[in-house]
């Protein structure tokens, strides 16, 4: 076969590149604070805000409850296009992937990785450090990695179970986020975002007494509220990854 014939069968090639990219370094996790500053910048430099791709750097944030989807929405409202997130904990990385964004390691971590020997065994990430602080209403069983959270997960709050299932004895408000390596059980209304199987466990599921979720994800496969059958909203439901897609059906 000739070289020309071989070339004709190639649909694409991967190439390394150093494309110019604007990094939006966040020092506040408050979407409304970001909105006000962007509005001021837009009035000063309207040409800059013309579908400019940006990487959201969260390395300077000490905020465990990052409303990443709301921040992205604020950016898009001002004609900026978030394409990736840099830095943050494991839940931030999973949130970025669920939103269809890329993720980059923090600058210093990236440099350290480049200096490591390829034969070194990677150390597991400290997922618990990124979880919301345990309180008197938050229990972790000693015989399993299941995390039990009692109370309402409020808007802007994030609760995660890094190594097992998450059980919420209460509701998950709009703007809140719950994540688990295993399954998620919500004994109340689920109005926020639920991401199960965050390490790729396709056997994980999501179960709730009242489905009003903004976003559902199992092993990185997600559906937004607008993609959910309206007949299932407001009802007890379960979510599984079946036949390469999310299946949502009445619970019980």
Q: Do 235 and 156 fall within a single domain?
A: yes
Examine residue 183 and state whether it is found in any structural domain, yes or no.
yes
Neighbours of 100 (CB within 10 A): 10
Examine residue 118 and state whether it is found in any structural domain, yes or no.
no
Neighbours of 35 (CB within 10 A): 17
Q: Do 139 and 239 fall within a single domain?
A: yes
Report which of 83, 98, 138 is spatially closest to residue 221, judged by C-alpha positions. Answer: 98
> CA-to-CA distance for 198 and 11, rounded, in angstroms?
32
Q: What phi, psi does 94 have (nearest 5°)?
A: -65, -35
In sequence order, the 6+-apart residues with CB closer than 8 A to the CB of 63 are 29
Q: Do 94 and 152 fall within a single domain?
A: no
Q: Do 226 and 182 fall within a single domain?
A: yes
Q: Do 29 and 100 fall within a single domain?
A: yes
Residue 204 tokens, joined: 């994980």
Query: Could you tell me the CATH number of the domain that includes residue 103?
Result: 3.30.70.260
Q: Do 98 and 136 fall within a single domain?
A: no
Examine residue 194 and state whether it is found in any structural domain, yes or no.
yes
Supply the pLDDT for residue 128: 38
User: C-alpha distances in angstroms, 225 versus 175, 231, 246?
Assistant: 13, 12, 13
Examine residue 122 and state whether it is found in any structural domain, yes or no.
no
Examine residue 232 and state whether it is found in any structural domain, yes or no.
yes
Supply the pLDDT for residue 56: 93
Order of strands across the sheet with 221-224?
A: 158-161, 177-180, 193-196, 215-218, 221-224
Examine residue 217 and state whether it is found in any structural domain, yes or no.
yes
Supply the pLDDT for residue 113: 44
Q: Do 178 and 222 fall within a single domain?
A: yes
Query: Could you tell me the CATH number of the domain that includes residue 193?
Result: 2.160.20.70
Supply the pLDDT for residue 140: 40
Q: Do 77 and 154 fall within a single domain?
A: no
Examine residue 17 and state whether it is found in any structural domain, yes or no.
no
Q: Do 242 and 135 fall within a single domain?
A: yes
Give the three-class secondary structure for 201: coil
Range of the domain at 45: 22-113
pLDDT tens track of the chain, all 252 residues? 444 545 568 888 766 444 556 788 899 989 999 999 999 888 776 766 778 888 999 988 876 678 899 999 999 999 899 999 998 888 888 889 989 999 988 865 544 443 343 333 333 334 433 333 334 344 444 335 899 999 999 988 889 898 899 999 999 999 888 999 999 999 999 999 999 998 889 999 999 999 999 889 898 888 888 888 899 999 999 999 998 889 999 987
Q: Do 163 and 73 fall within a single domain?
A: no
Supply the pLDDT for residue 85: 92
Find out whether 158 and 142 touch, Cβ atoms under 8 Å.
no
- Of 113, 139, 169, the residue that ends a domain is 113
Cα torsion 64, 225, 34, 84 to 10°: value is 70
- Of 113, 142, 158, the residue that ends a domain is 113
Taken in order 213, 217, 218, 223, the sign of the CA dihedral is positive
Supply the pLDDT for residue 3: 46
Report which of 226, 223, 201 is spatially closest to residue 248, judged by C-alpha positions. Answer: 223
Q: Do 83 and 145 fall within a single domain?
A: no
pTM of the model: 0.49
> CA-to-CA distance for 150 and 47, rounded, in angstroms?
49
- Of 113, 142, 166, the residue that ends a domain is 113
Domains in the chain, number = 2
Order of strands across the sheet with 205-211?
A: 138-140, 147-150, 166-169, 184-190, 205-211, 237-242, 245-250
Examine residue 119 and state whether it is found in any structural domain, yes or no.
no
Q: Do 151 and 239 fall within a single domain?
A: yes
């Amino acid at each position: 076969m000739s070289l020309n014939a071989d070339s004709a069968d190639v649909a694409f090639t991967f190439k390394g590149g150093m494309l110019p990219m604007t990094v939006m370094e966040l020092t506040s996790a408050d979407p409304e604070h970001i909105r006000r500053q962007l509005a001021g910048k837009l009035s000063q430099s309207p040409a800059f805000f013309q579908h400019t791709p940006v990487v959201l750097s969260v390395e300077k944030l000490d905020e465990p409850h990052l409303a990443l989807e709301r921040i992205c929405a604020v950016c898009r409202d001002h004609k900026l296009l978030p394409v990736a997130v840099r830095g943050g904990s494991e839940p931030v990385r999973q949130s970025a992937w669920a939103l269809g964004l890329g993720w980059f390691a923090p600058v210093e971590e990236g440099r350290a990785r480049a200096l490591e020997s390829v034969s070194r065994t990677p150390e597991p990430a400290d997922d618990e450090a990124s979880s919301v602080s345990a309180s008197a209403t938050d229990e972790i069983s000693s015989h399993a990695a299941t995390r039990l959270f009692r109370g309402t997960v409020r808007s802007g709050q994030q609760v995660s179970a890094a190594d097992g299932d998450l059980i919420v004895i209460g509701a998950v408000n709009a703007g809140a986020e719950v994540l688990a390596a295993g399954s998620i059980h919500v004994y109340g209304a689920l109005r926020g975002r639920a991401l199960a199987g965050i390490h790729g466990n396709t056997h994980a599921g999501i179960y709730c007494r009242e489905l009003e979720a903004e976003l559902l994800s199992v092993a990185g496969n997600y559906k937004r509220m607008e993609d959910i059958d309206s007949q299932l909203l407001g009802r007890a439901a379960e979510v599984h990854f079946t036949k390469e897609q999310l299946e949502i059906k009445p619970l019980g």
